[in-house]
Amino acid sequence: MLQQLTTMLEMQDRMNRKVHPDWINQQFAWYRALWIECGELIEHYGYKWWKHQQPAWEHVKLEIVDIWHFGMSMRFDGTSTPAQIAAGMLEELRLAPPQTMELREAVEALAGRALVGREFAVGPFWSLLQAAGMTPDELFTAYVGKNVLNFFRQDHGYKDGSYRKTWQGREDNEHLAELLGQLDSRSPRYADELYGALAARYAQVAAAHA
């Protein structure tokens, strides 16, 4: 798990540097992005006791991956290496193991720490991971996929507003989820293959609007 955590932290740093080369010193409000994503997750899971709702698990898990992006970003301090940050996370889990919690309660525990302390609490996040039935390996695979999508968005005009997030009536997140089920995550070229698959689909949409 140490290697997977280190790899994901390295990938997140590269992504953040693509958005802003000096991202750590900008002191972006990652904590705010995190708790807002928590709210979006609850929307997909359901909270309305006065009507019938079924959890949209695919979207719930994608929101968990988004939360993980922001949580990892909060851990960079400009001095610690990704390997050191990863080791620190594992030590936190050793000292305060995740608790068995209902999913909404796990989300609220995580959001509460972000709102009150402006911190990313690894234990509550791991409790959320377990409540959603996700394994660390599934988190890794899904994170790599979303990281590739974020690079793809940046390469295709996300920052200047020219990127089309909805293709053929579906958001790019939905296309990503479909492709994740079609490609072999064990492939050494997994990230490149996923990027290529996204590019092929997006090219079809761009051609249709040309």
Cα(23)–Cα(181) distance, rounded to whole angstroms?
Answer: 32
Indicate the pLDDT class of residue 62, thresholds 50, 70 and 90. confident
Angle at 16 between CA 15 and CA 20, to 5 degrees: 125
Question: How high is the pLDDT of residue 210?
Answer: 56
What pLDDT digit, counting tens, does each position of 70-121 carry?
Answer: 999 999 999 999 999 999 999 999 998 899 999 999 999 999 999 999 999 9
Convert the pLDDT of each residue in 176-208 to its tens digit: 888 888 888 777 788 888 899 999 988 877 666
Please report the pLDDT score of residue 207 as a whole number.
67
Burial class (CB in 10 A: 0-12, 13-18, 19+), 183: middle
Using the structure block, give the residue that is written with the tokens 């990313």: 120
**Helix 172-180 / helix 136-155 crossing angle, nearest 10 deg:** 130
Which tens digit of pLDDT belongs to each residue from 19-45? Answer: 899 999 999 999 999 999 999 999 999
- Name the residue with higher pLDDT: 113 or 154: 113
pLDDT at 203: 85
pTM of the full structure = 0.80
The DSSP code for 171 is E
pLDDT higher than 70, residue 209: no
Mean pLDDT value across residues 150-161: 88
The distance from CA 124 to its chain's CA centroid, rounded to whole angstroms, is 16
**Domain annotation for the chain: domains and CATH numbers:** 1-132 (1.10.4010.10), 135-210 (no CATH)
